[in-house]
Structure 1
Amino acid sequence: MSSTPTPLGIDIGGSGIKGAPVDLDKGAFAADRVRIETPGSSTPKAVAKVVKEIFGEFEHMCGDAPVGVTVPAVVTHGIVRSAANIDKGWVGTDAAALLSDAIGREVVVLNDADAAGIGELRFGAAKDAEGTVIVATLGTGIGSAVIVNGILVPNTELGHLEIDGHDAEKRASSAAREAEDLSWEKWAKRLQRYFSHVEDLFWPDLFVVGGGVSKKADKYLPLLKLRTPIIPAKLRNDAGIIGAASQAWAVKQGKASR
């Protein structure tokens, strides 16, 4: 087995649960990702069963490395405090303990956008960036990770800012663009309103835009007129898995808290 640590990252989403071991020297998958459909009833017990199945696919590669798991929710000290696109039964669940019991391995649980932010900070578009960096993931909703001088401020939930009487992600997410069949130009106007508001609140030094739609960044980012530089994510949809695995390893090494 290679001496390079290959902790496993698992990303729990509303439609799919994805996982892969991560080479922390390269900041890249060490094997092809495995994806399993999220159970229709995405209860903690049902999802834990899928997490165990994915872990079983890669256990032989991971040595004694911990597992990092993301959920689309606020997470404090391993406990899920909200539920977006997963069963409401997650609220109040000690997900770290539940999943650790399921796979017999230490598990670090964190918000999915926070994990993506960590991935971009350590291996992607935000690497070596100074000051305040905001990573925004545009997908079913809008996730956010706020990083100040290399330190994550967890669970910021900036997609739920109320702007012009609307929950921001209901109008400016990638899902909203698809549902309303908006042109890139019309969607960019909504993004302009959103990012302008966020930069007036935080005065960041850099925006990084992630999510699947980041691969088409040339269609909309050039249309935005902001004070703040705004660039596409480098790791795209891999960022959450990579960031979760990286954070789990950092916790094991005593370089990060849960």
Structure 2
Amino acid sequence: MEMLGIDIGGSGIKGAPVDLATGEFTRERIRVATPRPAEPEPVAEILARIVDDFGWSGPVGATYPGVVVNGVTRSAANVAKSWIGLDAVKLFDEATGCPVTLLNDADAAGIAEMSHGVGKGQKGTVVMLTLGTGIGSALFTDGVLVPNTEFGHLEIDGHDAETRASAKVREEDDLSWEQWAKRLSDYLAHLEALVTPSLIIVGGGVSKKAAKFVPLIHNVAAPVIPARLFNSAGIVGAAMAAAAAAQAPTARDLTRTA
């Protein structure tokens, strides 16, 4: 079965049809730069363009970089504040002409990684982190998602964690891999003290360079491993969410991966 997934990120909006059985793209991914400022209507126009470019007419899954409750976006850390309280599903439905299922971007990445990546079959408490413009988080217990965690906004030494340890900050502050790994280690140790995970998965585009920083992480008891799906996980998880909603449109249970 094939489903279209679209991942709305702080720097780019990416989409591709996904083979749900394998988690692989069935056609080449489309990427469009996220509008500046990232207001709702211009973002909706890009979603419509991606849908049109693929000639898609069925359900669509989409991610959002913040809290999503029943299709309403409740936070806006790295996009325009006009998203807060917006019925984003209604906006996207109207823009694309397709039924859209919307969920938090890190939750989508986690769903994909727990189904098709290194988290598959993992029991206990698993934390998935997406390191990019900010830090997204997804929390699972025995394969079941606890949606809309915002662990990237934990306060450490008076700072929002993602303002010190995101991949974007590493680039903007020209940090060495060692310097960034130190900040990341402090963040992970703090997170570990709160939720005691049995596994920490690090994703996002920077996970392709995991060999440069994962071995430098210290003072963290849980295994820290790079995501297998890298930066494709959000698209895959969005497609999976759309398929789940299509099968159970009244329940809209997008939390279970196993």
Measured against the shorter chain, the TM-score band is over 0.9
Structure 1: unaligned runs, 5 residues or longer: none
The separation in 2 between residues aligned to 1:15 and 1:227, in whole angstroms, is: 32
What do you get for the CA RMSD once the two structures are aligned?
1.4
The separation in 1 between residues aligned to 2:36 and 2:141, in whole angstroms, is: 38
Paired residue type of 2:237: G
1:237, distance to aligned residue in structure 2 (A): 0.5
1:36, distance to aligned residue in structure 2 (A): 1.6
User: Does 2:76 match 1:80?
Assistant: no
Distance 1:158 1:37, change over 3 A: same
The separation in 1 between residues aligned to 2:78 and 2:28, in whole angstroms, is: 25
- Secondary structure at 2:77 match in 1: coil
Please name the residue that 2:29 is paired with. 33
User: Does 2:48 match 1:52?
Assistant: yes
The separation in 2 between residues aligned to 1:172 and 1:39, in whole angstroms, is: 24
- Secondary structure at 1:100 match in 2: helix
- Count of aligned residue pairs for this structure pair: 251
The separation in 2 between residues aligned to 1:240 and 1:257, in whole angstroms, is: 18
Paired residue type of 1:9: G
The separation in 1 between residues aligned to 2:79 and 2:217, in whole angstroms, is: 32
1:256, distance to aligned residue in structure 2 (A): 4.7
Distance 1:13 1:209, change over 3 A: same
Structure 2: unaligned runs, 5 residues or longer: none
TM-score when scaled to structure 1?
Answer: 0.93
Distance 1:36 1:170, change over 3 A: same
The separation in 2 between residues aligned to 1:40 and 1:201, in whole angstroms, is: 35
The separation in 2 between residues aligned to 1:185 and 1:16, in whole angstroms, is: 27
What stretches of structure 1 move > 6 A for 4+ residues in a row?
Answer: none
Which of 25, 33, 39 matches 1:43? 39
Distance 1:148 1:256, change over 3 A: farther
1:216, distance to aligned residue in structure 2 (A): 1.0
- Secondary structure at 1:140 match in 2: coil
Distance 1:109 1:202, change over 3 A: same
